[in-house]
Amino acid sequence: MALNDNLRKRTVADKRDERETLGFVRQPAVRWLSPGLLLKSGVEVLVSSTFGKFADKRETQREPQPGLDYAAAGDLWVDFLADTGDGWEATYTMAWLLAQETLEYDGEALPRGKVLVLGGDEVYPLADAITYEDRFIGPFAAALPKSDRPEKPELYALPGNHDWYDGLGSFLRVFCARDGRIGDWRTRQRRGYFGIALPHDWWLLAIDIQLDTYIDDVQLDYFRDLPIKPGDKVILVTSKPAWVKALPGKVEPAGWRYLSYFEERIVRSSGAHLALTLTGDIHHYARYEPQDPDEPTRLTAGGGGAYLSGTHTLYPRLQLRSLGADAVQTVPYSLQEVYPRAADSRRLSNGILRLALLNPSFAGLLGVLYAILGTTMLGALNTGDGAIFATATSDGFSGFLAASASG
């Protein structure tokens, strides 16, 4: 059956046929500034932030996570992707790249990772069962369909803020179910956070900070109980680059305080060396390097297919205060590499001038707001005995525009 590839102009019958044929409905890229989505997203953020404080699902996640141990694997390839699950074209493209047995780069064949780590925001704009099915499971299963091969790649996912907008319920069903499968990727985690033992005394720890809230005691106990030894090396994965907003002279954001606490009291207190802090959330690549070699590289890699974020507004230097240590320490960082390049980022930001063409509904909303504002101002100017625009509307539409402009 031929499917309609114009995703924004499909009929209800087209979508029904597509679900029957593919098992899911391909979704167009999210129009982030459309008025309806802005209103719905605002409500979801308010509700999830409010009820998340009283119904934190992290504290109910107590099922053991045995066997997340690849220490004896020898050489192990790990793929990382964050901020996927937006539109069909971008999501399937990234999933297809991850599904290839090898990718050629600079004359070298890079094998597919035995482990795939998703660094947050697996679906957009709001999490629910159908959204996961159409925007994540469908594209990934299409890129790497189920097979009978004995060796299957394994997938671990960390929730981001968009995954939390339904209270994490859909995320837990998709990624933490027993014997879970997404295409030919196998899921093994049982909680929204995990610790993976890697070869050569390396660890990958992925923490769930919910919506910039404290790290719960159940989660902290899980990481304290991992057999991390002095001298081990740690890659810490979080769902938000809290360090980019930890600016000198300003109050440190909550996300940075919680991240710094975990780095000091869980990782460094075990005697391990924190080598890298890795995240997504902002949709670009940015690498900050410390002046102190004992401090971790801080890397944002949110290139999973969601809209591209600018890099020309990033601070070239950071002064990060370690808040969890016994003695507060300030560590200078410098921005070493970004994508897109700053010049390209500035050029691409000029695309805002085409907003009315790209998102007519948002432009219409602005037009309505300006019309209301102008009418209100004109009415205010016409009140009282000294009204100077009392005849503003008597000359037709052109007279209204002239009076409004001068007002």
- Averaged over 111-128, what is the pLDDT? 93
Please state, in angstroms and rounded to a whole number, the distance separating the CA atoms of residues 345 and 59.
41
User: Where are the strands (E) in 226-342, listed by range?
Assistant: 233-237, 273-279, 285-290, 297-301, 317-322, 329-339
pLDDT at 313 over 80: yes
pLDDT at 312 over 90: yes
Compute φ and ψ for 336, nearest 5 degrees: -100, -35
Residue 55: band (very low, low, confident or very high) from pLDDT cuts 50, 70, 90:
low
SS3 assignment, position 103:
strand
pLDDT at 200 over 60: yes
Residues 362-371 pLDDT 10s? 888 889 999 8
- The H or E element containing residue 80 is strand 78-81
Residue 282: band (very low, low, confident or very high) from pLDDT cuts 50, 70, 90:
very high
Question: Can you give the pLDDT at residue 352?
Answer: 86
The pLDDT mean for the chain works out to: 88
Question: Can you give the pLDDT at residue 185?
Answer: 95
Question: Can you give the pLDDT at residue 323?
Answer: 65
Q: To which residue do tokens 């809230």 refer?
A: 213
Q: At what angle do helices 396-406 and 360-381 cross, to 10 degrees?
A: 80
Question: Can you give the pLDDT at residue 189?
Answer: 94
Residues 355-400 pLDDT 10s? 888 888 888 888 999 988 888 777 766 665 545 555 555 666 776 6
Q: What pTM was computed for the model?
A: 0.87
- Portion of the chain with pLDDT greater than 90, in percent: 57
Question: Can you give the pLDDT at residue 355?
Answer: 84
Higher pLDDT, 254 or 50: 254
Question: Can you give the pLDDT at residue 149?
Answer: 87
pLDDT at 405 over 60: yes
- The H or E element containing residue 198 is strand 194-198
Please state, in angstroms and rounded to a whole number, the distance separating the CA atoms of residues 396 and 180.
67
Residue 87: band (very low, low, confident or very high) from pLDDT cuts 50, 70, 90:
very high
Residue 97: band (very low, low, confident or very high) from pLDDT cuts 50, 70, 90:
very high
- Averaged over 103-129, what is the pLDDT? 93
Alpha helix ranges (H) inside 187-280:
217-224, 254-262
Tell me if the bond preceding 66 is cis, omega within 30° of 0.
Answer: no
Compute φ and ψ for 164, nearest 5 degrees: -90, -5
pLDDT at 124 over 80: yes
Question: Can you give the pLDDT at residue 322?
Answer: 76
Question: Can you give the pLDDT at residue 394?
Answer: 61
- Averaged over 316-333, what is the pLDDT? 78
- Averaged over 201-216, what is the pLDDT? 90
Which range among 95-109, 301-315, 317-331, 383-397 shows the weakest confidence by mean pLDDT?
Answer: 383-397
Higher pLDDT, 376 or 241: 241
